[in-house]
Amino acid sequence: MGRFANSTDRSSGLEVVRDWNGVTQVVLRSPKGASARVSLHGGQVVSWKNDRGEELLFTSSKAFFKPPNATRGGIQMCFPQFGYSGTLERHGFARNLFWALDDEHAPINHNDNGSKVSVDLILKPSEDDLKCWPHCFEFRLRVFLSKDGDLSLISRIRNVNGKPFSFSFAYHTYLSVSDISEVRIEGLETLDYLDNLSHQERFTEQGDAITFESEVDRVYVSSPNVVAVLDHEKKHSFVIRKEGLPDVVVWNPWEKKSRTMVDFGDEEYKQMLCVDAAAVERAITLKPGEEWTGKMELSAVSSTNCSDHLDHPVSI
């Protein structure tokens, strides 16, 4: 923490703060006024704001904000398991653990021309973690904020074990939306999906863009690397670019499920949509010494410019 605390420098767009539980958070600020906030609890991105100060990620007003549970909202790191597909707690343990600043990299970076600011975090398993999942790994997470306010996450997971291991992964991303009934997703049309509401039965998406009128919990498989979430009322779209992450999980709990979630308001399903860049259908296997990389870049663009952004690949 010492070296990191000394790195706090508001003029460079970086600040280290503590939340009300005393947990370290790193705030990244772009020169134009956008910001992101990353917590060492879970490596979770707990806030991402545009240059007008508008929050782009959803966080529940009923969230617990108390470790060890991940805060309901933001971007959670689901590793080494997604959902209940294995023997671990839902979505794995990474989102509930305390991460550290990565000593092998400068703990806070901003590139020479100041166009990006970033922070590096690392998660290594403790003795207790190894009892639940006996595989030694290093999980490095770099979070960038560009000068235009785009948010990027790069995860690097290395097998430092003597034996191969397999895992699934997701950037569990709670987007803030004006009204779920007015939102549509483009880029997933005609794809196959596994429906978590029907024991992961496989279906093929038939419609045009995906719209919402009831609970949805699906894993779209082998998806393109760019997906857009259009929000007419907010007059902006989220463009999600990804690399190394073949699947997209789409989740909205709708009314009935919302009432069963203690850390989620009954009506809050209207203001959120989870769209996760993920590797779920096929586990990723790493041999000893191998490393996997998964990238996601989020941009919030004016709806009129959305189509211009859909052809660009991940820029990090």
Q: Rounded to an integer, what distance in angstroms lies between the CA atom of residue 37 and that of residue 91?
A: 22
Q: Which amino acid is at 137?
A: F
Region near ligand BG6 per CB under 6 A, out of 83-91, 111-119, 150-158, 205-213: 83-91
Residue 196 touching ligand BG6 (CB under 6 A): yes
Angle at 137 between CA 196 and CA 240, to 5 degrees: 45
Residue 249 touching ligand BG6 (CB under 6 A): yes
Angle at 62 between CA 59 and CA 66, to 5 degrees: 85
Residue 90 touching ligand BG6 (CB under 6 A): yes
Query: Which residues ranging from 132 to 151 are in contact with ligand BG6 (CB under 6 A)?
Result: none
Nearest to 278 by CA among 207, 218, 210: 218
Q: What is the largest CA-CA distance in the chain?
A: 55
Among 63, 94, 194, 274, binds ligand BG6 (CB under 6 A): 274
Judge contact between 243 and 307, C-beta under 8 A. Answer: no
**Residue with Cβ nearer ligand BG6 (273 or 300):** 273
Count of residues touching ligand BG6 (by CB under 6 A): 10
Q: Rounded to an integer, what distance in angstroms lies between the CA atom of residue 149 and that of residue 116?
A: 9
Q: How far is the CB of 163 from ligand BG6 (least distance, A)?
A: 29
**Residue with Cβ nearer ligand BG6 (161 or 200):** 200
Q: How far is the CB of 159 from ligand BG6 (least distance, A)?
A: 25
Chain residues that interact with ligand BG6, rule: CB under 6 A: 83, 90-91, 172, 196, 217, 249, 251, 274, 276
